[in-house]
């Protein structure tokens, strides 16, 4: 059995993450291979760079997994802001296996620690960078037209996750985070 690990902040879960997870699944060779989705910055949330909490991100991913009938374990990893010790720290949560990533720095960090890694080249990385997806969501956070929001966001976020974001008011509260207004 091999554990295939996909690590990210998933702020929010978008089509680049979907591609990465599907790439990890293609590497699975045996029926008992496992997919582990490791959510970094697990203690972060409700701030402009990390607007969604671990539980919210986990719920987004679960909604996508359920819609695709993909089985995977989801774990959270808190930041330690110590790159030389990150892999040892993260391994306590995601276990030993094969890291599947599209991030060159993460790839090199895991490689230097002796971890087996697969670097995946994303075809649309420029448009699917997390900060771009968050900025688009932020711009739409004051457009109270669910259909319009879904139409725009579905180009970068799987439709089931867009639905989750709308149904849980997770898009519309973004405008209050940037303005400094606290949301209770």
Q: What is the pLDDT of residues 109-157, one digit of tens each?
A: 999 999 999 999 876 767 778 888 999 999 999 999 999 999 999 999 9
Element holding 166 (H helix, E strand) = helix 159-167
Residue 80: how many CB atoms within 10 A of its CB? 11
The pair of structure tokens assigned to 157 is 């976020």
The verdict on pTM exceeding 0.85 is yes
Give residue 96's pLDDT.
Answer: 97
Domains observed in the chain: 3-119 (3.40.50.620), 130-179 (no CATH)
* % of the chain beyond a pLDDT of 70: 94
The pair of structure tokens assigned to 115 is 């971890």
* Angle (CA) 7 12 16, round 5°: 60
Give residue 119's pLDDT.
Answer: 96
Listed residue (73, 69, 85, 92) closest to 34, CA to CA = 73
Give residue 179's pLDDT.
Answer: 47
CA dihedral 76, 170, 139, 177 (to 10 degrees): -80
Q: Write down the residue that tokens 């448009």 correspond to.
A: 127
Give residue 128's pLDDT.
Answer: 78
Q: Look up residue 168 and give its DSSP letter.
A: T
The pair of structure tokens assigned to 48 is 């402009």
Element holding 35 (H helix, E strand) = strand 34-39
Task: Quote the CA–CA distance of 102 and 17 in Å, as a whole number.
Answer: 9
Q: Which residues of the chain have pLDDT under 70?
A: 123, 125, 178-184
């Amino acid at each position: 059995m091999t554990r295939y690990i996909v690590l990210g902040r998933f702020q929010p879960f978008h089509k680049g993450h979907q591609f990465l997870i599907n790439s990890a699944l293609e590497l699975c060779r045996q029926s008992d291979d496992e997919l582990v989705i490791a959510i970094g910055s697990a203690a972060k949330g409700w701030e402009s760079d990390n607007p969604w909490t671990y539980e919210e991100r986990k719920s987004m991913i679960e909604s996508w997994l359920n819609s695709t009938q993909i089985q995977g374990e989801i774990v959270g990893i808190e930041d330690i802001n110590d790159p030389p010790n990150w892999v040892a720290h993260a391994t306590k949560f995601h276990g030993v296996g094969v890291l599947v990533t599209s991030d060159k720095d993460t790839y090199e960090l895991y490689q230097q620690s002796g971890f087996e890694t697969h670097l995946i080249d994303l075809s649309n990385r420029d448009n699917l960078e997390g900060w771009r997806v968050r900025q688009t969501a932020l711009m739409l956070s004051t457009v109270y037209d669910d259909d319009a929001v879904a139409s725009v966001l579905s180009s970068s976020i799987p439709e089931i996750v867009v639905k989750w974001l709308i149904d849980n008011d997770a898009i519309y509260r973004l405008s209050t985070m940037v303005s400094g207004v606290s949301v209770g």
